[in-house]
Structure 1
Amino acid sequence: MLSRLTRLPRPTALAVCAAPVLGLFAVAALAPLPFVVAVPGPTADVLGSDQGKPVITVTGAPVRDTKGQLRMTTIRATGPSSTMKLPELIGHWFKTDQAVMPRESVYPSGGSDQQIEEHNLEEMAQSQSAAAAAALGFLKKDPKDIKVQLNLADVGGPSAGLLFTLGIVDKLDGDGSGGELTGGRSIAGTGTITADGTVGAVGGVGLKTQAARRDGATVFLVPKAECSDAKSDLPEGLRLIPVTSLTDAVSSLRALNRNEDVPSC
């Protein structure tokens, strides 16, 4: 004899099915999630001073007095050990001056807060070394004769590499053959740098453009691969120039000073 399947009345079946789903939503709402909230951070003029000391100090070669500004940009994010729950994240998601980002995109090294800080400072030191090598190579100057010291407190990570490099080039190209890079403007930007002058992507460019415009910049150098991100919430009055190399950046800035055509995102 065949057994009979018992069918639950429809309202009861729906209630039975919905219960575990609602339970999952409740757990998700209460569980800490691997995201951080980032906001535009401070900017710093690499042609200027930080805490009373020049950001760029050159020995072994003459330097020129520079005009304008070259501003490196940063973001500030909630700490790597902080936790956020879904209702909190939703509150930040739709704010244009904030970004909800995966924790690993901001803190890719992982580890404790102290380990991450040490990693970021190490990356900054490597970035500064690469910036000096890229600038001296671009200018065809002997690193045995010229020493470059970079000083910028309370900033970690590699994303200031491009701006450090441009600052060194601007100070060292003292014979005037190439012309000043800023043309008296406030130029901002972001991007990693390698010793051969390759510019790399960094993340958080939408927030960095906001920081740049807030602090008076009118031009922003962005790694070409991140043009679309930079354009998404571009502040009014800020011009984007895409770059893939140090040569790109220098050529574009000099063309801008001559009122020539300059690449755009």
Structure 2
Amino acid sequence: MAGVSSRVRVLTVCSVLVVALLAVAAFAPLPFSLAQPGSTADVLGSRRGEQVITVEGADTRKTTGQLRATTIVATGPDADVRLGDVIDSWFRTDRAVMPRDSVYPVGNTTAEVEKHNFADMRKSQDAATEAALRYLHRSSKDVKVTLDLARIGGPSAGLLFTLGIIDKIDGDGRGGELTGGRTIAGTGTIEPDGTVGPVGGVQLKTQAAKRDGATVFLVPKGECKEAEAVRPEGLQLIPVTTLKDSVSSLRALAAGQSVPTC
């Protein structure tokens, strides 16, 4: 009986410790950020009465389609995320639980993060301009491009900015729009040489795109599987790895031809 009593005492102590740990976990801040679909913005459109993309030194034309850059909204780097919040978001398709360091790799406060995102955005816009002008065989000495979309922070709109510049100046090279009059959304970083890179959060961005009327979504090829897992009905996912294949896919789509899909 003494042995049984000892085991009971051990189990009781262990149970108390487990309950105490769960109680602490329930109220202690966790190193996660909670994200959801954010806004989208048409880079071919206007912001506060001014065009998002302004071109000097080259002829431009009006466009009827849309190229919508997509975003996610996440809890701030200094926000307290609790266990209950994580559990609630974990089982929702319109929410995501992400390691805080993956959302905010630099900066511990909102002000620091905004400063970093602004710097990334400027770098991304410069790369987008260079990639577009290289593709069009235009010189930055003759053509000046100004991009104004402050609410899209970070580098994730790089591909859409690049496509927007090309569409405004050259379209498909035959007088037609790259969009074919459609509402096309997407995400992806861009390098000056035209390489498209991954960005994260694509599952939420596809939902934002569908909500705002997109029927096509350009996704970095390496993130196809993630995007396809919760693809909104009626949204076509087109994988891309370079600016060249992005333009080629859009041209084919506008011409009614088949294109690669995730």
Q: Distance in 1 between matches of 2:14 and 2:207?
A: 46
SS of the residue 1:43 aligns to = strand
| Residue 90 (1) aligns with residue 87 (2) | yes
Equivalent residue number for residue 71 of structure 1: 68
**Counterparts in 2 of 1:205 and 1:154: CA distance versus 1, 3 Å:** same
Distance apart, 1:108 and its partner CA = 1.2
For 2:247 and 2:148, locate their aligned partners in 1 and report how far apart those are by CA, in whole Å: 22
Q: Report if the CA contact (8 A) 1:63-1:174 is conserved.
A: no
The equivalent residue for 2:56 is 59
2:28 corresponds to which letter in structure 1? A
Could you list the per-position Cα deviations for residues 126-160 of structure 1 after superposition, in whole angstroms to 9, with x for gaps in the alignment?
00000000000011111111000001132211000
Residue 144 of structure 2 aligns with an amino acid whose one-letter code is K
Q: 1:182 to 1:175 in 2, by over 3 A?
A: closer
How far is 1:14 from its partner?
1.6
For residue 108 of structure 2, what is the aligned residue in structure 1? 111
Bigger CA drift: 105-114 or 137-146? 105-114
Query: RMSD of aligned C-alpha atoms?
Result: 1.5
The equivalent of 1:185 in structure 2 is 182
1:171 equivalent in alignment to 2:168: yes
Q: Distance in 2 between matches of 1:67 and 1:176?
A: 16
Deviation at 1:37, TM superposition (A): 1.3
Alpha-carbon distance in structure 2 between the residues aligned to 1:198 and 1:254: 18
- Judge conservation of contact 2:194–2:244 (CA < 8 Å) in 1: yes
Question: Which AA in structure 1 matches 2:15?
Answer: A
Q: Report if aligned partners of 1:199, 1:243 keep a CA contact under 8 Å in 2.
A: yes
* Cα distance, 1:175–1:30 mapped onto 2, change above 3 Å: closer
1:3 match: none
| Structure 2 residue runs without a partner (length 5+) | none
1:249 corresponds in structure 2 to 246
Which SS does the other structure have where 1:89 is aligned? helix
Aligned residue for 1:64, secondary structure, equals coil
For 2:251 and 2:103, locate their aligned partners in 1 and report how far apart those are by CA, in whole Å.
33
2:13 aligned with 1:16: yes
8 A contact 1:104–1:110 mirrored in 2: no
* 153-162 or 166-175, which deviates more: 166-175
- How many residues align? The count is 260
The answer to whether residue 20 in structure 2 is matched with residue 32 in structure 1 is: no
1:147 aligns with 144
Counterpart Cα distance in 1 of 2:195 and 2:16: 55
Native 8 Å contact 1:36 1:78 kept in 2: yes
Q: Aligned-pair distance for 1:190?
A: 0.3
Shift of 1:175: 8.7
* CA–CA separation in structure 2 for the residues paired with 1:17 and 1:212: 49
TM norm structure 1 = 0.94
- The residue that corresponds to 1:194 in the other structure is 191
- Percent identity over the alignment is 63
- The one-character-per-residue Cα deviations of 1:51-97 (angstroms, maximum 9, x if unpaired) are 11100000011112222100000111111110111012212221221
Deviation at 1:177, TM superposition (A): 2.9
Task: Say if 1:247 and 1:178 are closer, same or farther in 2 by CA, change over 3 A.
Answer: farther
Q: Normalising by structure 2, report the TM-score.
A: 0.95
Give 3-state SS (helix, strand or coil) of 1:206's partner.
helix
Q: Is the 8 A contact 1:128 1:164 kept in 2?
A: yes
In 2: Cα distance, 1:94 partner to 1:141 partner:
49
Distance, in Å, in 1 between the alignment partners of 2:234 and 2:225 is 17
Deviation at 1:251, TM superposition (A): 0.4
Between the aligned partners of 1:61 and 1:17, the Cα distance in structure 2 is: 74
Contact 2:65–2:177 (CA under 8 A) maintained in structure 1: no
- Cα contact 2:133–2:139 (8 A) shared by 1: yes
Q: Indicate the residue corresponding to 1:239 in structure 2.
A: 236
Matches of 2:57 and 2:171 in 1, distance apart? 13
**CA distance in 1: counterparts of 2:240 and 2:152, whole angstroms:** 23
Name the residue aligned to 1:224: 221
Tell me the CA shift for residue 8 of structure 1. Answer: 5.0
